[in-house]
Structure 1
């Protein structure tokens, strides 16, 4: 989440007129994340007021993909997975136009994103991911993974020699990793729709329990076990990519096993899947680091934090 496009109070108030949500009482931009513009909206609706998230979709999210995301969230919610659905207005529309951008009003889920998860929270997150995968076994829609192995080559080429401005020798290292993954990537494992971005800030915790899974805008059809590798890499290290915490990594796998489980082939492929996860986030963070517009209300994230994680998985 972030804010690239600013929305006036008048525009927000006009949007709310399309819903049975009350009138605008407060609004605040949300700086976390890098993909879309997001605002926390409070209204006079209900007995004690209501709270929503207003999301405007920026350049990286194709408006043509939004029906897929909305259908995915509706399907998960209908199957008991705690996710925030896009709210339908009085005309049954989920997608709106706000400040010249496609956008929607989204359910607010209570909970906090933890920066230093404990093993119980990691176990709960792994279990929630497994429950999500179980709920999606009968989901019929597909979406290509634009941030998958083919996309890594394209993104690395776009970053080109600028990678060395982030760290000397980074371009050579990325090229070597791409070559290794081209040969090692497990293309014969089961595929399914995955979240693909289940970082701690995309899991809302209520104590040691999961209150919600959010931010599905990278969801796609991919090797299903890649999702657990992404989650493992995102949760099991200090923020700077050092200090691997085995008790967290083990708890994520144990929670996932309790709800869905990994096959022997998926376990054998885990190091390659985790290295692919690290390269994917190294490259997207590098691109954002090099191209975030001046003045954007957004927190840039260090690409080298995932180079350090990649070094860990390369030693497995």
Structure 2
């Protein structure tokens, strides 16, 4: 959620008029993130978030926007895209595809306790179940195919030991993906990026999941593994926090029990989740794009997480 494209107040006012949201009162760029341009819009009808999409195409975006609307209508606390009088929810600002969604209340919990992890696990399971009726389909664009394409691009930039681990883990994940157990994993729409900064809390009440622009159809277990790799990890060391993980897994399974195939492949999917974000952070670190507020994440964090997941598998 950096600012790659500068939006002027006249451009914001024109968009608000099209959406019939009243006059602009304030426009503020949002720091953080690495994919899209984001602004807080304050207007006569309340507070909203404007997103300009820097990588995703107008052809890809309906999946994400309609998924959010589907989940919002299913009772999941997610941003609900605003439509113009003709019902269109994908707009254009500064020549870029754009969307406006309601601003959810609360703030991110960057030092989560067990109760926060349980709340995320519970709502994640409900989100997976609510997504079963969603008819649109798009693969996880940062899935295995992207890993296979991107690892050769980042290999020249890393040390020999890192390159060896990348090659070995990528080979392992290709082997897992070809297995019958992997084919048996339950699937549906997933968030695929549900880190601490993409969830909102008001105290211990979970008030929102947001930033669905890495979503796609994938295994629900992969989505859960991504959460475990962020919410239940010590950020300083990359070490697994068993107590927090137990709370998240128990709360998730109270809503949707894991299948036998999922229980067996949890260690592999935890490795997959760590690999995915190590690759993307390496890519953003060594091949960055200019942005007014861009702060690439340190890729070595997920290298540590991956090494920990390989050395000490987590089972349920």
TM-score calculated relative to the size of structure 1: 0.93
How much has 1:160 moved relative to structure 2? 2.8
Q: Which residue of 1 aligns with 2:103?
A: 108
When structure 1 is superposed on structure 2, of 87-96 and 116-125 the one drifting more is 87-96
| Alignment length (residue pairs) | 308
The yes-or-no answer on 1:303 pairing with 2:299 is yes
Q: Take 2:245 and 2:222, find their aligned partners in 1: how far apart are those partners?
A: 14
How much has 1:146 moved relative to structure 2? 2.0
How much has 1:187 moved relative to structure 2? 3.1
Q: Which residue of 1 aligns with 2:57?
A: 62
How much has 1:62 moved relative to structure 2? 2.5
Q: Take 2:199 and 2:34, find their aligned partners in 1: how far apart are those partners?
A: 16
2:215 is aligned, of 214, 219, 226, to 219
SS in 1 for 2:18: coil
The yes-or-no answer on 1:158 pairing with 2:153 is yes
Structure 2 unaligned segments of length 5 or more: list them: none
The yes-or-no answer on 1:86 pairing with 2:78 is no
CA displacement 1:21-77 (0-9 Å, x = unmatched): 1211111111121110000111123xxxx1000000002x22211111121111111
How much has 1:121 moved relative to structure 2? 0.7
The yes-or-no answer on 1:142 pairing with 2:151 is no
How much has 1:189 moved relative to structure 2? 1.5
Cα pair 1:241 1:307 within 8 Å, conserved: no
Cα pair 1:84 1:109 within 8 Å, conserved: yes
Q: Which residue of 1 aligns with 2:164?
A: 172
Q: Take 1:314 and 1:230, find their aligned partners in 2: how far apart are those partners?
A: 15
Q: Take 1:245 and 1:299, find their aligned partners in 2: how far apart are those partners?
A: 27
CA RMSD between the two structures: 1.4
Q: Take 1:246 and 1:236, find their aligned partners in 2: how far apart are those partners?
A: 7
SS in 1 for 2:11: helix
TM alignment of 1:14-93, pairs within 5 A:
14-45=14-45, 50-59=46-55, 61-93=56-88
Q: Which residue of 1 aligns with 2:12?
A: 12
Going from structure 1 to structure 2, the CA distance change for 1:241 and 1:214 (only over 3 Å counts) comes to farther
Q: Which residue of 2 aligns with 1:233?
A: 229
How much has 1:16 moved relative to structure 2? 0.9
Q: Which residue of 2 aligns with 1:244?
A: 240
